[in-house]
Amino acid sequence: MSDHAGVAKDDLGIDLAAHEETYAGFVGLTENLTVHILNIVLLLVLWTLEGHPFIALIGFILNIAASSLAGPTGLGWRLPGALFVLLGLAAIVL
């Protein structure tokens, strides 16, 4: 093991800001993909159990659009989360 006692953190070559930015991006992507997959589960419920394939197709297109726009707009999981609420209501009502 090397001895780093008395050496400043900047001298070690550690780029903490870049690591924290990468971790924040990873957490945001994981949240977005989790809601995206939950939307797909609701779409499968609408298609197979409820028997509404056209509504499931429209929901799938909206799910792709919401998940792809979540990152650039900065809304994160909230944009596909709104679609999750709408799909959940559709699964209950239909």
Backbone torsion region of residue 76, taken as left when φ is above 0, otherwise alpha when ψ lies between -120 and 50, otherwise beta:
left
Give me the long-range contacts of 62-65 (CB less than 8 A, separation at least 24). 63/36, 63/39
Has residue 44 got a pLDDT over 60? yes
Q: Is residue 74 within 8 Å of 28, Cβ to Cβ? A: no
Q: What's the first-to-final CA gap in the chain, in angstroms?
A: 64
Q: Where are the domains of the chain?
A: 32-93
DSSP 3-state of 31: helix
Has residue 7 got a pLDDT over 70? no
Chain-wide mean pLDDT for the chain?
A: 88
What is the per-residue pLDDT for 11?
59
